[in-house]
Structure 1
Amino acid sequence: MTQHTKRAFILGLTALAATPALPALAQNKTTGTTFVRVPTFAAEDQARIKRATAYLQALSAASGRFEQTDFRGRVTTGQWWLQRPGKIRFEYDAPYSVLVVADGKNVNMWDPRLKSFDQYPLSFTPLSLFLSKQIRLDQGVIVTEVTRTTDGFRLKARDRRKDVEGAITMTFRDQGGKLTLGDWTVVDAQGKSTRVNLLTLNTAASLKPSLFVLNKPSASRN
C-alpha cells in the first residue's frame, strides 16, 4: 500500500483535512488564531442539529458493515465496531485486510501486506465527533450547513479552531421518527472526497474489549 493509499484510508475514517469554499473566517486579534463564524440557523435546522447530537450521544456501542469510496471511485468494504467513549475499529476486507483501531488514546493502523504499523493521536482526528464522552456540535466542532434530504438531513461540520482544517458531511436517515447515521464524507486539501457508507448499523449493549486493542506487531510476525 502506497503512502497515498494509506492516507486515503485514514482520510476516509479519521482525517479532517483542508477543503476549499469554507464559510467566512473571523480573526482572533489576541492570539492570531482564525475561527469559523458560527452560522445562525432557522429553528427547524437547530432542531435537526439537536436531534443529531442526541443520537450520537446515545450511540454507545454498535457494529456493522461499511463501504468506502475514494476520489478515484475505488471501492473497499469491511466491518466496523464502535464503543464510546474513545474506541472504534475498522477491519477492511481482502485484498487490503487493513486494520484501523482507535483505543481511546491513539488511532493505530496495521497493513499486513506491507507489515506497516502507523499511529496517530486520537485528539488529532475528528473521530472525537463520534467518540468523545460528551458530543458537542457547537464548540470545538461546529455545524456550518444543514441540508434536508428526501429521507432525513445532512450536517456539514468542521473544526472551528483551525482555518486550514476542512469539513465532514454526515447524512442522517429519519425512518418513522427514528434517526440513523447513514454515511459521512470528508474532503482533503485538494478537494478530493472520500465517502464511508454504513451498509448496516446494529446497536449493542457492549462489545469485547479485545476488539479495540491493536499493538505494533513484532518483527517476527508472519
Structure 2
Amino acid sequence: MKPALLTLLLLSGCATSGYGNLPQSEQSDVRRIEAYLNGIRGLQAAFVQRGPDAGQSEGRFSYIPGHLRLDYIVPHPMELVAGEGHLVLADQGTGAVTHLSLKHNPLGLLLKYPIRFDGDVQVTDVRHGNGSLQVSVAQADNPSQGLLTIQFSDVNGQLSLIGLQGVDARQHHFGVLLSDVRQGVMIVPSVFTPPAG
C-alpha cells in the first residue's frame, strides 16, 4: 500500500465518531457501559494511582456521573475535584492550587453527563478479559489530545468500575486502580465542590 493512501486511511479512521463501526456485540457492550456509568448513584473506593514519573499515590475515590474526587493520603494529603469542565488539585502541604481545563484532558471524557460515547467521542477499542471488560475512548475530532481506557469487572452481566488508564496529549501515562468498591453510596453534593484557591 502506498504511504499516501495509508496516511489517508489513518486520518479518515481518526475522524470516525461514536461506535457504529464496531461489531454488534461490541456496540452492545458500549451501550451497557453507558447505562452503567449514567446510572451510578454514588461510588466510593480505595485507589492506587501510578503517574508518569512511576510514583505511586493512594487514597479515597468518589464518583457520581459528571463528578470525580480523589482524596490523596499517600505520599501526602492532596485533594483533586473534577467536573463541569474543570479540574482543581489542592496540595494541602504546600497550599498550592492547580486549575486545569478538562476540554483537552482524557479524564474529561468520563465526566460529561449524560455519558454518550458517540458524537464528539470515538470508541477506539473494546476488550473482554476473564470477568472483565474495558473500553477506550478519545475525542473524535482530535484523538491526539489523549486516550482514556475505562476498566470494569463484568461478572454475571454486572459491571463495576475498577480502574482508569490514560495517556494525555504530552504522552504522559496515568493509571488508577480501585479496590473495596462500594456502589449506591449516598454522597453529599458538596463533596464535589472544588477547593478554594
Q: Same fold (TM over 0.5)?
A: yes
Deviates more, 1:198-207 or 1:121-130: 121-130
**Paired residues of 2:84 and 2:112 also in contact (CA < 8 A):** no
**2:168 maps to 1:193:** no
Change in CA separation of 1:106 and 1:190 when aligned onto 2, cut-off 3 Å: closer
Q: 1:24 to 1:43 in 2, by over 3 A?
A: same
Write out per-residue CA displacement over residues 89-145 of structure 1, whole angstroms, 9 at most, x where no aligned residue: 111013321110125453211112221111123444444433322111112122111
Give the letter for the 2:42 counterpart. Answer: A
Output the CA distance in 1 between the equivalents of 2:120 and 2:83. Answer: 21
Aligned twin of 1:74? 55
Q: Paired residue for 2:6?
A: none
Number of residue-to-residue matches in the alignment: 187
- 1:91 is aligned, of 71, 77, 84, to 71
- The answer to whether the 8 A contact 1:103-1:213 is kept is no
Q: Which structure 2 segments of 5+ residues have no match?
A: 1-8
Q: How does the TM-score come out when normalised to structure 2?
A: 0.82
- Of the three residues 2, 13, 16, the one matched with 1:37 is 16
RMSD: 2.4
Amino acid at match of 2:92: P
3-state secondary structure, aligned to 1:201: strand
**One-letter amino acid matched to 1:37:** T
Who is 2:162 aligned against?
182
Cα gap change, 1:165/1:124 in structure 2, threshold over 3 Å: closer, same or farther? closer
> Separation in 2 of the partners of 1:50 and 1:101?
27
1:130 to 102, 110, 122: 110
Q: Offset of 1:24 from its aligned partner?
A: 2.1
CA contact (8 A) 2:106 2:145 kept: no
1:26 paired residue number: 12
Higher strand share goes to which structure?
2
Alignment of 1:1-222 (within 5 A): 24-26=10-12, 35-38=14-17, 40-84=21-65, 86-102=66-82, 104=84, 106-189=86-169, 191-204=171-184, 206-217=186-197
Identity %: 23
